[in-house]
Amino acid sequence: MTLFALAEELSIAMAPLHDHYGAWAVVTGASDGIGRAIARQLAADGLNLVLVARRRERLEALGAELSAGCGIEVRPLSIDLALPEGPERLLSATEELEVGLLVAAAGFGSAGRFLDADRESQLAMVDLNCRAVAALAHGFGQRLVARGRGALVLFSSLLAFQGVPLAANYAATKAYVQSLGEGLRHELAPAGVTVLVAAPGPVHTGFAARAAMRLNRAQQPEEVARETLAALARGGTVLPGVLPRLLGCLLRLLPRRARVRLMGSVMAGLVWPREP
């Protein structure tokens, strides 16, 4: 990195986010977990927010809290992004806003044998974790390039870097997001648009209950949100948290087949046993 690039990165990191990215940020998955934690941190930095999730009551409660506490404008949008029309509804609803930052935190997963899972839920996972992310990255990416500045934040996972038995489909969807973000980072950088991919490990959110997993050592959403936004200026990939970074380093030392077996063993210890 040149001294000029380093100085520019430091200036972005130290300045309020709204000074660099603009007046509005869009946060999907904002009703819970990481998305909710990121929304709170962006509000504290003065960005107006479009909060997106399915649960309108939770969005409106969060919006009222943030607008009153931080003096920002908040627009809650109850949209199911897993539906084919979901991303287009969001893009249309934000067309007149000066959006400079998209945080695509919506997603869900499941744990257990792929063939034992409900087929429609597995396809819905692909729709939300992959199709919706691609649609939003494309739509908002075009706007950011036209503005000449802005950022996309995508969420992959520590599971994204190899196949994972007992989370095969979820890991595959996150591998898609990881690869998409890595490619877009280089495509959009010349236009002044930053792309960051966050790959957290286990996090205490509603995800674990929906995925039927037990998490003994997991991060708090606020920690993941804080480290993700701290890495925004440089883009690339961030593994928020000490343990995910250590495990990521360990995994990189192993052949891919060994990583698959190791992660399968880890997942076997996290999955709740099925009822007889």
Per DSSP, the three-state class of 51 is strand
Quick check: 1 pLDDT over 70? no
Instruction: Return the pLDDT at 144.
Output: 97
Per the annotation, the verdict on 174 as an active-site residue is: yes
Annotated active-site residue in 140, 161, 170, 207: 170
CA atoms within 13 A on the CB side of 58: 15
Catalytic annotation, pick one of 18, 20, 131, 174: 174
Cα–Cα distance for residue pair 83/79, rounded to 1 Å? 9
Q: What is the pLDDT of residue 6?
A: 46
Predicted pLDDT of residue 206: 58
Give the DSSP H or E segment for 49. Answer: strand 48-53
Query: What is the mean predicted confidence (pLDDT) over 82-96?
Result: 97
Neighbours of 205 (CB within 10 A): 23
For residue 217, which of 227, 230, 226, 208 has the smallest C-alpha distance? Answer: 208
**pLDDT at residue 47, as a whole number:** 96
3-state secondary structure of 23: coil
Alpha helices in 15-76 (DSSP H): 17-21, 33-44, 56-70
Rounded alpha-carbon distances, angstroms, from residue 2 to 6, 15, 153: 6, 20, 24
Q: State the pLDDT at residue 208.
A: 53
Q: Which pair of structure tokens corresponds to residue 97?
A: 């806003």
Of the two residues 250 and 53, the one the predictor is more confident about is: 53
CB 51 within 8 Å of CB 59: yes
Give yes or no: 193 in active site. Answer: no
- For 168-220, what is each residue's pLDDT tens digit? 999 999 999 999 999 999 999 999 999 999 999 887 765 555 545 555 567 89
pLDDT band, residue 231 (cuts 50/70/90): very high
Contact 152, 144 (CB under 8 A): yes
Q: Is the confidence at residue 107, as pLDDT, over 80?
A: yes
Render pLDDT for 13-22 as a digit per residue (tens, 0 to 9). Answer: 545 676 778 8
Average pLDDT of the chain to the nearest whole number:
88
Residue 272 confidence (pLDDT) above 80: no
Give, in degrees to the nearest 5, the angle at Cα 229 between 234 and 34: 140
**Which domains, from first to last, does the chain contain?**
3-268 (3.40.50.720)
Q: Please say if the pLDDT value at position 106 is more than 50.
A: yes
Rounded to whole angstroms, how far apart are CA atoms 192 and 147?
9
- The answer to whether 143 and 192 are in contact (CB under 8 A) is no
